Chain A
Amino acid sequence: MARSKNYQDPKLEEKLKDRKYYATDSNPDFLKEVEKIGQTIAHMCYQCGTCTGSCPSAPRSSYRIRLFMRKAVLGLEEEALTDPDLWLCTTCYSCTDRCPRDIAPTDVIMAMRNLAAKRDIVPRNFLQTVQLIYKSGHGVPNNDVNRAARVKLGLEAEPETTHKYPEYIPGIQKIIDHYELKAKADRLVAQGE
Chain B
Amino acid sequence: MAEVNKKEEQPRIGVFVCHCGTNIAGSVNIQDVMDYAKTLPNVAVSDEYQYMCSTPGQGKIADAIKEHNLTGIVVAACSPRLHEPTFRNATKAGGLNPFRFEMANIREQNSWVHMHQPEEATEKAKDAVRIAVAKASKLEDLYPKSVPVEKTAMVVGGGVGGMQAALDLADAGIKTYLVEKTPTIGGRMSQLDKTFPTLDCSQCILTPKMVDVFRNENIELLTYTEVEEVAGYIGNFDVTLRKKARGVITPDEAEAKGIVGGGCTGCGDCVAVCPVIKPNPFELGMAPRKAIYVYHPQVVPLIYTVDFDSCVKCGLCVEACGDKKAIDLEMEDELMTVKVGTVVLATGYEIFPIEKKFEWGYKNFDNVITSLEFERLICASGPTGGKLIRPSDGDKPKKVAFVLCAGSRDTTGIGKPYCSRFCCMYSLKHAHQIIEKMPGAIPYIFYMDIRSFGKMYEEFYYRIQDEGAKFIRGRVANITEDPETKNLYVHAEDTLLGRPVDLEVDMVVLAAAIQPTAETEKTRRLFGVSCSQDGWLLEAHPKLNPCGTTTAGVYLAGVCQGPKDIPDTVAQAEGAASAASIPIHKGEVELEPYFAQCIEEKCAGCGLCVPQCPYSALALVEKDGRTVMQVTEAKCKGCGTCGGFCPGGAIWMQHFATPQIVAQIDAFLLGGEQ
> Counting chain A CB atoms within 10 Å of each CB, which of B412, B475, B477, B492 scores highest?
B477
Residues of B within 8 A of A129 (CB): none
Pull 14 A–B residue pairs with CB atoms less than 8 Å apart, ordered by A.
A48-B474, A50-B476, A51-B493, A53-B491, A53-B500, A53-B501, A58-B500, A64-B498, A66-B495, A66-B498, A98-B477, A100-B405, A102-B412, A102-B413
Nearest residue (CB) in B for A58 is: B500
CB 8 Å contact bits of A21-64 with B (1 = contact, 0 = none): 00000000000000000000000001111111111001100001
Residues of A within 8 A of B359 (CB): 98
B475 touches A53 (CB 8 A): yes
- Is the CB of B409 closer than 8 A to any CB of chain A? yes
Other-chain contact of B491, A48, A54, A102 (Cβ < 8 Å): A54
Residues of B within 8 A of A174 (CB): none
Report Cα–Cα, A55/B498, bound state, in Å.
13
- Is the CB of B183 closer than 8 A to any CB of chain A? no
Residues of A within 8 A of B474 (CB): 48-50, 53
B495 touches A47 (CB 8 A): yes
Residues of B within 8 A of A58 (CB): 493, 500
Report Cα–Cα, A51/B491, bound state, in Å.
11
Nearest residue (CB) in A for B409 is: A100
Report Cα–Cα, A46/B447, bound state, in Å.
12
CB 8 Å contact bits of B53-90 with A (1 = contact, 0 = none): 00000000000000000000000000000000000000
Q: How far is the CB of A141 from chain B (nearest CB, A)?
A: 33
A53 touches B477 (CB 8 A): yes
Q: How far is the CB of A19 from chain B (nearest CB, A)?
A: 15
Residues of B within 8 A of A52 (CB): 477, 493, 495, 500
Other-chain contact of A53, B409, B412, B413, B493 (Cβ < 8 Å): B493
Report Cα–Cα, A55/B499, bound state, in Å.
11
- Is the CB of A67 closer than 8 A to any CB of chain B? yes
- Is the CB of B448 closer than 8 A to any CB of chain A? yes
Q: A46-B448, A98-B359, A100-B410 are in contact. Are A54 and B478 (CB under 8 A)?
A: yes
A98 touches B478 (CB 8 A): yes
Closest 4 CB pairs of A and B: A53-B477, A49-B493, A48-B475, A52-B493
- Is the CB of B415 closer than 8 A to any CB of chain A? yes
Q: Which range holds the interface residue count of chain B?
A: 20 to 34
Residues of A within 8 A of B405 (CB): 48, 100
Residues of B within 8 A of A50 (CB): 474-477, 492-493
Residues of A within 8 A of B10 (CB): none
B478 touches A99 (CB 8 A): no
Q: Could you count the A-B residue pairs with CB atoms below 8 Å apart for me: how many are there? A: 68
Total chain A interface residues with beta-carbon distance under 8 A: 20
Q: How far is the CB of B589 from chain A (nearest CB, A)?
A: 46
Within 8 A of A (CB), among B455-514: 473-478, 491-495, 498, 500-502
- Is the CB of B411 closer than 8 A to any CB of chain A? yes
CB 8 Å contact bits of A87-130 with B (1 = contact, 0 = none): 00000000000111110000000000000000000000000000
Given contacts A50-B492, A100-B409, A100-B411, 12 further A-B contacts (CB under 8 A): A49-B475, A50-B474, A53-B491, A54-B478, A54-B491, A55-B500, A64-B493, A66-B493, A67-B498, A98-B359, A99-B412, A102-B413
Report Cα–Cα, A39/B668, bound state, in Å.
43
A100 touches B477 (CB 8 A): no
Residues of A within 8 A of B477 (CB): 49-54, 98
Nearest residue (CB) in A for B475 is: A48
Nearest residue (CB) in A for B477 is: A53
Residues of B within 8 A of A66 (CB): 493, 495, 498
Report Cα–Cα, A49/B502, bound state, in Å.
13
Residues of B within 8 A of A67 (CB): 498
Q: How far is the CB of A72 from chain B (nearest CB, A)?
A: 16
Residues of A within 8 A of B502 (CB): 59
Report Cα–Cα, A67/B498, bound state, in Å.
8
Report Cα–Cα, A46/B475, bound state, in Å.
11
Report Cα–Cα, A55/B492, bound state, in Å.
10
Q: How far is the CB of A50 from chain B (nearest CB, A)?
A: 5
Report Cα–Cα, A189/B473, bound state, in Å.
43
Report Cα–Cα, A102/B411, bound state, in Å.
6
Nearest residue (CB) in B for A46 is: B448
Residues of B within 8 A of A54 (CB): 477-478, 491
> Counting chain B CB atoms within 10 Å of each CB, which of A58, A64, A100 scores highest?
A100
Other-chain contact of B448, A48, A55, A98, A99 (Cβ < 8 Å): A48
Report Cα–Cα, A66/B475, bound state, in Å.
12
Other-chain contact of B476, A47, A53, A55, A101 (Cβ < 8 Å): A53
A100 touches B415 (CB 8 A): yes
Report Cα–Cα, A67/B500, bound state, in Å.
13
Residues of A within 8 A of B491 (CB): 53-54
Report Cα–Cα, A125/B642, bound state, in Å.
77
Q: How far is the CB of B448 from chain A (nearest CB, A)?
A: 5
CB 8 Å contact bits of B395-422 with A (1 = contact, 0 = none): 0000000000100011111010000000
Residues of A within 8 A of B492 (CB): 49-50, 53
Report Cα–Cα, A100/B359, bound state, in Å.
12
Residues of A within 8 A of B493 (CB): 49-53, 58, 64, 66
Q: How far is the CB of B611 from chain A (nearest CB, A)?
A: 48
